[in-house]
């Protein structure tokens, strides 16, 4: 069915694109809130300048995040109406709550924050950005509550031909939610932090505005390093969760056709042959998979062949294998980027502590490359999570192919897919161009004499405003 394929491509591409902006917004909101807090506490203007400089990127990014987010809410119903009918009762509820609890909060207080400089008391203005930050995090919580139902359905009863909620606490205490939420949030903090880290490193290499960017670097390195640790720990809990709740995803992520040995080794790279159901040329790290899944150096992991048989017994004939290669490689890319971030953060803090960061130009260069790592890690993390769930849209309850809108034709989906891709490509290019422009311009261009009363966005078009 080409409708299913097209709808999946559209959902995947629009969601991945949206998730470029979401984590950066979550991370930058926190960092900006911290910087503005330091300004109020230390009463040093440099923190005000930092708040304003970094907020330029935050706001451009936030705007694209908002508009690409609207599509997300619409396209469940547009492309996946059968799915929406089946799960609306339990899956729609967190989305509605997300809007009430998070979207109103974010959008109202970001308006107050952008336009409220000098109009409201300073502490209230500071509170606004903290509320924005809180809103972005709440938003992640509720959307992940919805996603967790797809991965690990809990708190429902099957009646009236659909999954109806019968236990809100089970929905909110879903184990998947409590491993995915912190993992996503730490990943988001790291995304914001490594953006600030990378841009600061670029300035430090050029020896421009050293004090400004050293301070920015220090703040963001601490956040980056802590987030890196958080990502690692919560990643570990994700693996433990997967082992008992979605073993097929875990087996696919390891390319394990037969059960693993005991203790199980973690495969660094391997050659996966899906047709012959064979994985060759493994380079293994002994004990590590056992540790990852059970927190001890023993225990085996079931392979896909066994799991598939179990699923056929349970659900009847069918293809229950997720795309193995994609799941396998996404997992590796995610783990490697996460580990690298942690290393960069730790080494960066060490060099700062030893006051050697300015001389370590090679390392600062690495930090610039580090800007891209969280984005790669975030994307492949989601690819692993959602591709590894296939062929199910709701694990064990509904298959992806059955969730499609029966009344939307392939031609219509193609039209929307092309439209969205085109406009997203343009937005992506604009974002990069604007980011580069504002990075190059730097904080010094903000007319320092006026900086306490004006806003950085002024510089864009203000000068030629009156002709």
Partner 1 sequence: MPLSDFWFILIAVLFIGFIFLEGFDFGVGMSTKFLARNDLEKRVVINTIGPVWDANEVWLITAGGAMFAAFPHWYATVFSGYYLPFVVLLLAFIIRGVAFEFRNKVDSVAWVKTWDWAIFFGSLLPPFIFGVFFTSLIQGLPIDADMNMYAGFTDFVNIYTLIGGITFVLLSYLHGLLFIGLKTVGSLRERANRAARKVYGLTGVFIVLFIGLTYLDTDAFVDKSALLIPMYGVAILLYVLLFFFLRNKREGLSFTMTGLIFMIITASFFITLFPNVMISTMDPAFNMSIAEAASGDYSLKIMTIVACTMVPIVLAYTIWSYYVFRKRLTGDKEHLEY
Determine how many CB atoms are found less than 10 A away from the CB of residue 346: 15
Determine how many CB atoms are found less than 10 A away from the CB of residue 50: 26
Residues 45-64 interacting with partner 1 (rule: CB under 8 A): 59-60, 63-64
Residues 166-205 interacting with partner 1 (rule: CB under 8 A): 166, 168
Which CB sits closer to partner 1, 59 or 334?
59
Which CB sits closer to partner 1, 86 or 257?
86
By rule CB under 8 A, what string of x and - marks binding of each residue 408-427 to partner 1? x---x--xx--xx--x---x
11 binds partner 1 (CB under 8 A): no
98 binds partner 1 (CB under 8 A): yes
**Closest approach of Cβ 61 to partner 1, in Å?**
10
458 binds partner 1 (CB under 8 A): yes
Alpha helices in 102-121 (DSSP H): 104-115
**Closest approach of Cβ 80 to partner 1, in Å?**
8
Q: Give the pairing of strands 392-394 and 278-285.
A: unpaired
**Closest approach of Cβ 419 to partner 1, in Å?**
6
Measuring CA to CA, how many Å separate 223 from each of 129, 163, 229, 236, 390? 17, 40, 10, 20, 34
428 binds partner 1 (CB under 8 A): no
89 binds partner 1 (CB under 8 A): yes
**Closest approach of Cβ 171 to partner 1, in Å?**
9
Which CB sits closer to partner 1, 95 or 231?
95
Instruction: Note whether 129 and 32 are within 8 A (CB).
Output: yes
- How far apart, in whole angstroms, are the C-alpha atoms of residue 127 and residue 132? 9
84 binds partner 1 (CB under 8 A): yes
Which CB sits closer to partner 1, 40 or 105?
105
**Closest approach of Cβ 420 to partner 1, in Å?**
8
Residue of the chain from 13, 81, 240, 421 that contacts partner 1 (CB under 8 A):
81
CA–chain centroid gap for 144, Å, is 11
Among 183, 189, 190, 201, residue whose Cα is nearest residue 348: 201
**Closest approach of Cβ 235 to partner 1, in Å?**
30
Tokens of 215: 């301070």
CA–chain centroid gap for 311, Å, is 30
Which CB sits closer to partner 1, 245 or 427?
427
Which CB sits closer to partner 1, 116 or 391?
116
Residue of the chain from 16, 37, 162, 310 that contacts partner 1 (CB under 8 A):
162
Task: With H, G, I as helix, E, B as strand and everything else as coil, classify residue 396.
Answer: coil
Q: DSSP secondary structure string, 30-90?
A: HHHHHHHHHHHHH--HHHHHHHHHHHHHHHHHHHHHHHHHHHHHHHHHHH-HHHHHHHIII
């Amino acid at each position: 069915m080409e409708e299913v394929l097209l709808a999946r491509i559209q959902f995947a591409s629009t969601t991945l694109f949206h998730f470029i902006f979401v984590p950066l917004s979550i991370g930058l909101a926190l960092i900006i809130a911290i910087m503005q807090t330091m300004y109020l506490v230390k009463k040093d203007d440099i923190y005000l300048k930092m708040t304003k400089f970094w907020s330029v990127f935050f706001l451009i990014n936030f705007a694209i995040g908002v508009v690409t987010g609207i599509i997300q809410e619409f396209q469940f119903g547009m492309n996946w109406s059968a799915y929406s009918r089946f799960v609306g009762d339990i899956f729609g509820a967190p989305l509605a709550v997300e809007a009430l609890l998070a979207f109103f909060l974010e959008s109202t207080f970001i308006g107050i924050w952008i336009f409220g400089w000098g109009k409201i008391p300073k502490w209230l203005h500071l509170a606004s950005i903290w509320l924005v930050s809180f809103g972005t995090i709440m938003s992640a919580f509720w959307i992940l509550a919805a996603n967790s139902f797809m991965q690990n359905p809990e708190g429902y009863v099957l009646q009236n031909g659909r999954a109806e909620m019968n236990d809100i606490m089970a929905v909110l205490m879903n184990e998947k939610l409590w491993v995915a939420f912190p993992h996503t949030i730490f990943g988001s903090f790291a995304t914001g932090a490594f953006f600030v880290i990378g841009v600061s490193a670029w300035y430090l290499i050029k020896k421009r505005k050293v004090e400004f960017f050293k301070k920015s670097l220090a703040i963001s390195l601490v956040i980056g390093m802590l987030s890196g640790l958080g990502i690692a720990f919560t990643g570990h809990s994700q693996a433990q969760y997967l082992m008992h709740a979605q073993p097929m995803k875990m087996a696919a992520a390891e390319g394990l056709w037969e059960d693993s040995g005991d203790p199980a080794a973690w495969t660094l790279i391997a050659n996966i042959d899906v047709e012959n159901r064979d994985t060759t040329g493994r380079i293994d790290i002994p004990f590590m998979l056992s540790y990852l899944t059970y927190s001890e150096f023993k225990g085996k992991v079931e392979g896909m062949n066994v799991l598939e048989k179990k699923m056929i017994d349970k659900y009847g004939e069918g293809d229950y294998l997720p795309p193995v290669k994609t799941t396998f490689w996404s997992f590796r890319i995610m783990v490697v980027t996460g580990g690298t971030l942690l290393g960069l953060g730790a080494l960066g803090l060490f060099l700062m502590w030893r006051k050697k960061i300015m001389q370590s130009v090679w390392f600062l260069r690495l930090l610039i490359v580090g800007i891209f790592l969280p984005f790669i890690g975030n994307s492949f993390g989601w690819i692993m999570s959602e591709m590894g769930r296939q062929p199910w849209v709701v694990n064990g309850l509904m298959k992806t192919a059955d969730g499609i809108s029966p009344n939307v034709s392939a031609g219509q989906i193609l039209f929307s897919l092309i439209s969205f891709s085109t406009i997203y490509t343009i937005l992506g290019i604009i974002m990069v161009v604007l980011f580069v422009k504002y990075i190059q311009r730097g904080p010094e261009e903000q007319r320092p004499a006026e900086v306490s009363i004006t806003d950085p966005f002024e510089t864009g078009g203000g000068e030629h405003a009156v002709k």
